[in-house]
Amino acid sequence: MVVTKDQVESLFAGGADLSQGDYVIRAVDVRKIYRMGDTETHALRGATLDILRGEYLSIMGPSGSGKTTFFNMIGGLGKPSAGKVYIDQVDIAQLDPYELAWLRCRKVGYIFQAFNLIQVMSCLENVMLPMAFAGVTSEDARDKAMEILAEVGLEDRALHKPSEMSGGQQQRVAIARALANSPAILLADEPTANLDLRTGEEIIELFSRLKETRGVTIITATHDLKMLKRSDRIVWIEDGRIDRVTTPEAMNIEVGEVH
């Protein structure tokens, strides 16, 4: 299921044709330099990318390509050394820590490879946590959390601890948590990597549904072919730059059915 670099390079067939539209994220010539003592590591060397509202975007790249750094930048988890990142027209470099926290709380929902649910809390409490950070009163948060859990099909497991649930269920709780404050963007880092094929497919299905019903922008870093196939666009990062932007059709991904 995992695509090697050579395979992908052969699959990419030039940039995708995108009409002008409403951009939810704009990255302009983003550079990031990590300094460790005297050595400088250029993780990003000028990455430019516009992401449309409601788009389903996949980011690919070999390890060390700057993929993770780029992912962090557009998710508001780090500030670029040079260049601009606009999330909903806001330059994140201008934000103070309080505003950044506000942005992370309400504009972006994060989904992790290892789910990252707080083990001490029940599913409901996990989903309520971002709302608590947003200052929502606990009654309102409880009602809304139950609604979202129902949306991901886990309303009957609300009071269970994450450790009592399967991986697929945990990831759905994590998605519910990411949706808690109705963010414009869902940022998912290899969301299916820790799941088996079938549950992975369920998660991909859920993403597609959320894109339709909520109009949320979904950005994933992934090597899962099934995910790539459902994406609107696929971004290939190499050597700190956006190497290619393409569509699944252009990549001609063929995925067999899982039985």
Partner 1 sequence: MENIGTQVRLPISTAVQIALQGIKIRLGRALVTISGVVLGIAFLMSVFTGELISGTGYIKGAMAQREELNNTVKMMESFVSQALGSPKDKIIGIVVAGELDQSELILAKRLARLTQDQKQAPKEVRAVGLSLPGLTRADVREVGKDASMLIVMGNSGALATAFEALTAGMEQVYVLDTYKPVVMAAAEGAHDVKMRTYAGAPVVVVEHSGQKYEQLYGDQQQEVLREQAEKAESARFRTVWVMIISLLVTIIGITNSLLMSVTERFKEIGTMKCLGALSVFIRQLFLIESALIGFTGSFLGMLVGALLPMLMYSISYRDPATGALGAGFGVIFGTINYPLLLAAGLSAVVVGTLLAIMAAIYPANFAARMVPAMALRSNV
93 binds partner 1 (CB under 8 A): no
Footprint of partner 1 on residues 12-51 (CB under 8 A)? none
Q: Are 84 and 29 in contact (CB under 8 A)?
A: yes
- What whole-number distance in Å separates Cα of residue 197 and Cα of residue 241? 31
154 forms part of the interface with partner 1 (CB under 8 A): no
**Block residue for tokens 């649910």:** 117
Options 26-34, 44-52, 101-109, 235-243: segment touching partner 1 (CB under 8 A): 101-109
Using CB under 8 A, pick the residue from 9, 29, 40, 99 that binds partner 1. Answer: 99
Does 113 contact partner 1 by CB under 8 A?
yes
The rounded distance, in Å, linking the Cα atoms of 59 and 44 is 14
Helices (H), 152-218: 167-178, 197-214
Token readout for 244 is 């290619």
Among 1, 13, 120, 258, binds partner 1 (CB under 8 A): 120
- Among 43, 60, 103, 165, indicate the residue that binds partner 1 (CB under 8 A): 103
Count other Cβ atoms within 10 Å, centred on residue 39.
Answer: 7
The residue (of 172 and 244) whose beta carbon lies closer to partner 1 is: 172
Q: Does 86 bind partner 1 (CB under 8 A)?
A: no
Does the footprint of partner 1 cover residue 78 (CB under 8 A)?
A: yes
Among 28, 33, 95, 255, binds partner 1 (CB under 8 A): 95
Please give the Cα distance from 169 to 75 (Å, whole number): 24
